[in-house]
């Protein structure tokens, strides 16, 4: 990784010794519906005193591919010991397996549909388990509450549920672990996150081609003219398309899934 790139978030959890018990929710449940609250009621009961963090409930619906890259970027700064409940699960109730992944001392509980595969592929030390336990009365549609949450609660409470799990060599579904040159997420300001990590591109020499628009690099928003669209490396370490005091998504008509092309990048995979 080029020296010019320091991922800004790396430092933030390094100050305290030891593991930090913390449950982190990463789902496409939406914020408005009662799904998150039902999961939290269960967590408060089974892992009392463990803080529960809503990291994201707006993962693009049914899009495990975008979710997998977002999960990698957003989970990296969390402390060792954090337990992520990950739900983008259109195949719930079907044959897909449920798994636990330990990746560099963080824990991920969710479906084996690719969602956990980028954090798994990019970690140095990985262990994988199949969840073989099935609670009485398991619903067909809400494994986040009925299956993943109880497992995650026990891990966060320091009671690893060995008897509920069986070891597994690898995940069944493994996405390509290279960069994903597409729009992953559009935030409420209209900024568009891509699946390309900032460290792979030399900003000064790189433009982005997005639906025919050639976008230059700007270090910060105030370096761009008012309303100008540009790219920069965002606070999650990903290349982001933005506009100064304007919505890049509206300006350029962007949607999740749009293809992003880097030119001048030293990394030929992205040409």
Site residues (CB under 8 A) for its own copies, limited to 84-123: 90-94
Closer to its own copies by Cβ: residue 54 or 176: 54
Q: x/- binding map, residues 184-223, to its own copies, per CB under 8 A?
A: ---xxx-----------------------------xxxx-
- Confirm or reject binding of residue 74 to its own copies (CB under 8 A): yes
Burial 95-131 (b: 16+ CB within 10 A, else e): ebebbbbbbeebbbbbbbbbbbbbbbbebeeeebbbb
Residue 147 CA to residue 42 CA, distance in Å, equals 11
Per DSSP, the residues of 89-137 read -TTTTSS--EEEEEETTEEEEEESSSTTHHHHHH-SSEEEEEE----TT
Closer to its own copies by Cβ: residue 101 or 153: 153
State in angstroms the smallest separation of the CB of 138 from its own copies: 7
Binding its own copies (rule: CB under 8 A), the pick from 34, 158, 253, 257 is 34
Closer to its own copies by Cβ: residue 187 or 202: 187
By CB under 8 A, which span of 25-33, 165-173, 199-207, 248-256 interacts with its own copies?
Answer: 25-33
State in angstroms the smallest separation of the CB of 76 from its own copies: 11
- Confirm or reject binding of residue 18 to its own copies (CB under 8 A): no
Q: Describe the crossing of helices 149-156 and 35-46 by its angle, rounded to 10 degrees.
A: 40
Closer to its own copies by Cβ: residue 103 or 128: 103
Per DSSP, the residues of 142-177 read -HIIIIIHHHHHHHHTT---GGGEEEESS-S-----
Q: Bridge partners of 128? A: 101, 168
Question: Judged by CB under 8 A, how many residues of this single chain contact its own copies?
Answer: 72
- Confirm or reject binding of residue 255 to its own copies (CB under 8 A): no
- Confirm or reject binding of residue 61 to its own copies (CB under 8 A): yes
Burial 172-192 (b: 16+ CB within 10 A, else e): bbebeeebbbbbbbbeeebbb
Binding its own copies (rule: CB under 8 A), the pick from 33, 104, 176, 209 is 33
Closer to its own copies by Cβ: residue 53 or 170: 53
Binding its own copies (rule: CB under 8 A), the pick from 27, 69, 72, 77 is 77
């Amino acid at each position: 990784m080029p020296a010019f790139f320091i991922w800004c978030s790396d430092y933030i959890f390094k100050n305290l010794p030891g593991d930090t018990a913390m449950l982190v929710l990463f789902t496409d449940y939406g914020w408005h519906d009662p799904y998150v609250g039902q999961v939290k009621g269960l967590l408060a009961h089974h892992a009392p005193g463990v803080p529960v963090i809503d990291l994201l409930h707006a993962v693009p619906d049914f899009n495990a591919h975008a979710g997998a890259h977002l999960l990698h970027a957003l989970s990296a700064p969390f402390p060792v010991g954090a337990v992520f409940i990950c739900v983008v699960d259109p195949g719930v109730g079907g044959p897909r397996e449920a798994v636990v992944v330990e990746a560099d001392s963080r824990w991920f509980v969710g479906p084996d549909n690719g969602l956990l595969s980028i954090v798994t592929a990019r970690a140095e030390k990985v262990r994988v388990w199949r969840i073989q336990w099935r609670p009485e009365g398991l619903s067909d549609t809400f494994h986040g509450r009925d299956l993943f949450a109880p497992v995650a609660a026990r891990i966060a409470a320091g009671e690893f549920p060995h008897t509920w799990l069986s070891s597994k060599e690898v995940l069944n579904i493994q996405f390509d672990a290279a960069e994903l040159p597409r729009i992953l997420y559009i935030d409420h300001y209209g900024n568009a996150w891509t699946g390309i990590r900032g460290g792979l591109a030399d900003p000064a020499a790189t433009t982005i081609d997005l639906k025919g628009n050639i976008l230059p690099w700007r270090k910060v928003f105030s370096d761009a003219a008012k309303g100008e669209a540009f790219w920069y490396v965002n606070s999650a370490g990903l290349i982001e398309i933005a506009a100064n005091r304007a919505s890049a998504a509206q300006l350029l008509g962007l949607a999740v899934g749009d293809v992003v092309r880097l030119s001048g990048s030293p990394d030929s995979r992205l040409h």
